[in-house]
Amino acid sequence: MGYKVAVVGATGNVGREMLSVLAERSFPAEEVVALASRRSLGSEVSYGDRTLKSKALEHFDFSDTDICLMSAGSAVSKEWSPKIAAAGAVVIDNSSCWRYDADVPLIVPEVNGDAVASFRKKGIIANPNCSTAQLVVALKPLHDRAKITRVVVATYQSVSGAGKEAMDELFAQTKSVFTLDEIAAKKFPKRIAFNVIPHIDVFMEDGFTKEEWKMVAETKKILDPKIKVVATCVRVPVFVGHSEAVNIEFENPISADEAREILCTAPGCLVIDKREAGGYATPFEAAGEDATYISRVREDPTVENGLVLWCVSDNLRKGAALNAVQIAESLINRDLLNAKRRAA
Ligand SMILES: NC(=O)c1ccc[n+]([C@@H]2O[C@H](COP(=O)([O-])OP(=O)(O)OC[C@H]3O[C@@H](n4cnc5c(N)ncnc54)[C@H](OP(=O)(O)O)[C@@H]3O)[C@@H](O)[C@H]2O)c1
C-alpha cells in the first residue's frame, strides 16, 4: 500500500521541485496533495505528467496523511508542524525552525541517515540549509578517512535560495540594466544583477550573518560537534546552484589523489577534476542534477594536513527537495512509517 504525501508550499521554488523529485524517483505515493496559502487556492502545479490543484493549508485535514513535506518558511512551520505531527503525519521540514532543536533530528541521508529513527519525539525531521547539505556530503567521506579538525568555507549562493520572488528580482534587474530602467532592490539589500553581495540572512552580534552561523551549527549537528567551522556566505547573480570554496584541515595526512579517489565512490558525490580549462563543475551543469559535484581538489601547502576543494550542487534539489524526499525514503527503507501506522 502506498503512502499519502502532502507538500506544503507546493507553489514555491522548493515545493515545485519536491513534486518533481517525488515523480522522478517513483516515490511510493498513493496520493499526493499540493498545499499552499489561501492566495494560491486552485493554482496548478505539476506532479510528473499530472496537474494538481493547490489547496489551502489551513483547511486541510492531515489525519490520514503519512508524510508532510513542508517548505513554507519558518513562521508557517512553527505554527503548523506540531499540529500536523499531532494529527499523525511525519513532518519533514525545510525551514530553519526546528533544525537546532535537540528533539528533532537534522538529516542528510548520506551522512547521518540512521538518526531519522529519533523523529518520534516530536514527529518532525529537519532538512538542513542548502549550503550545509552539499558541504557535509563532500566532507563526510574525508572525515571518515582522515578526521577533519577545521573547515573554512566561502559560499557563492544562487538567488533561488531566497525564493521565487528573489529569482524574479534578478531577472527584472538584469533586464533593467539593458533597458536603462531604474533598478529596484526589494528582496536583496543591494542590486544583485551583475553584482555580488556578502550578506545572507540577518546580522548577528558577533558580525557573522545567520546564514554563516547556520553552516557552523548544522555541520556540527550532522557530522561532528568537534569540527571547527567558519563561513563567509555570499549571494551571486546565478539563478540555480550554490558553489563553495572549501579549505579543510585534518588530524591525519591525506593527499589530493587519495581524497579524489575516496570522493569518486562516495554516496552523492561526483568528481569532475581535470586540471585544464573547463575541467571542473559550475552551477550551470549542476542545476537540475542530484549530485554534489567536487572539483579542484588540491593540497594546501600552508597547513600540515590540509586540502582545498570546490563543491557545487543544485540548492533546490540536494539543498532542499531531493534531500527531503531522500529522508522520506530513509523512513520507508527502515520500515519506520509502517511501524508508526501499526502503532496508531
Ligand atoms: N530555496 C532553497 O534553496 C532552500 C533551501 C533549503 C531550504 N529552503 C527553505 O524552504 C522554504 C521555502 O523556500 P522557497 O525557496 O520554496 O520559497 P518560495 O519560493 O517563496 O515559496 C514559499 C511557499 O510557501 C507557501 N506559503 C507561504 N505562506 C504560507 C502560508 N501562510 N500557508 C501555506 N503556505 C504558505 C507559498 O505559497 P503561496 O504561493 O500561496 O504564497 C509558497 O508555496 C523556506 O523555509 C526556505 O528557507 C529553501
Indicate whether residue 167 lines ligand 1 (CB < 6 A).
Answer: no
pLDDT mean over 109-117 = 97
Q: What angle do CA 278, 284, 285 make, to 5 degrees?
A: 70
At residue 90, φ and ψ (nearest 5 deg) are: -85, 125
Q: What is the largest CA-CA distance in the chain?
A: 63
Determine what percent of the chain is predicted with pLDDT higher than 90.
Answer: 96
- pLDDT, mean of residues 75-104: 97
- pLDDT exceeds 90 at position 148: yes
**50 CA → ligand 1 middle, Å:** 22
Confidence of residue 337 (pLDDT cuts 50, 70, 90): confident
- Ligand 1, atom nearest to 72 Cα: 24
Mean pLDDT of all residues in 26-34: 97
Closest atom of ligand 1 to 128 CA is 6
Cell of 265: 565512490
Predicted confidence at residue 116, as pLDDT, reads 96
Give yes or no for a contact between 221 and 207, defined as CB atoms under 8 angstroms apart. no
Split at pLDDT 50, 70, 90, the class of 184 is confident
Among 108, 111, 107, 106, smallest CA distance to 266 is for 111
Report whether residue 40 contacts ligand 1, using a CB cutoff of 6 Å.
yes
DSSP bridge partners of 8: 35, 70
Whether the CB-CB separation of 96 and 74 falls below 8 Å is answered with yes
Residue 344 pLDDT exceeds 90: no
Phi, psi of 257 (to 5 degrees): -65, -45
Residue 60 has pLDDT above 90, yes or no: yes
Catalytic residues: 130, 242
Query: Ligand 1: which of 7, 16, 37, 238 to mutate, most ligand atoms within 8 Å of CB?
Result: 37
Question: And the C-alpha cell for 22?
Answer: 517525488
| Residues 6+ away with beta carbon under 8 Å from 172 | 184
Residue 339 has pLDDT above 80, yes or no: no
Q: Could you report the per-residue pLDDT of 231-243, keeping only the tens digit for each?
A: 999 999 999 999 9
Ligand 1 centroid – CA 9 distance (Å): 5
Q: Looking at residues 13-36, what average pLDDT do you find? A: 97
Which of 59, 94, 127 gets mutated to test ligand 1 (max ligand atoms within 8 A of its CB)? 94
Q: How far is the CA of 187 from the centre of ligand 1 (A)?
A: 14
Closest by CA to 69, choosing from 333, 331, 288, is 331
43 lines ligand 1 (CB under 6 A): no
Q: pLDDT (tens digit, 9 = 90+) per residue, 298-334? A: 999 999 999 999 999 999 999 999 999 999 999 999 9
Burial 236-268 (b: 16+ CB within 10 A, else e): bbbebbbbbebbbbbeeebebeebbebbeebeb
5 lines ligand 1 (CB under 6 A): no
Mean pLDDT of 7-11: 98
**Residue 1 in this model has a pLDDT that exceeds 90:** no
CA of 74 to the centre of ligand 1 (A): 9
Q: What is the mean pLDDT of residues 42-46?
A: 97
pLDDT of residue 192: 98
Please say if the pLDDT value at position 175 is more than 80.
yes
Cα-to-centroid distance, 10 and ligand 1 (Å)? 8
- The yes-or-no verdict on residue 343 having pLDDT over 80 is no
Dihedral of alpha carbons 106, 112, 115, 117, sign: positive
Q: Interhelix angle for 336-343 vs 322-333, to 10°?
A: 60
Element counts in the chain: helices (H) and strands (E): 10, 14
- Whether 215 shows a pLDDT value over 90: the answer reads yes
Question: pLDDT-derived band of residue 177, with 50, 70 and 90 as boundaries?
Answer: very high
Mean residue pLDDT across the chain: 96
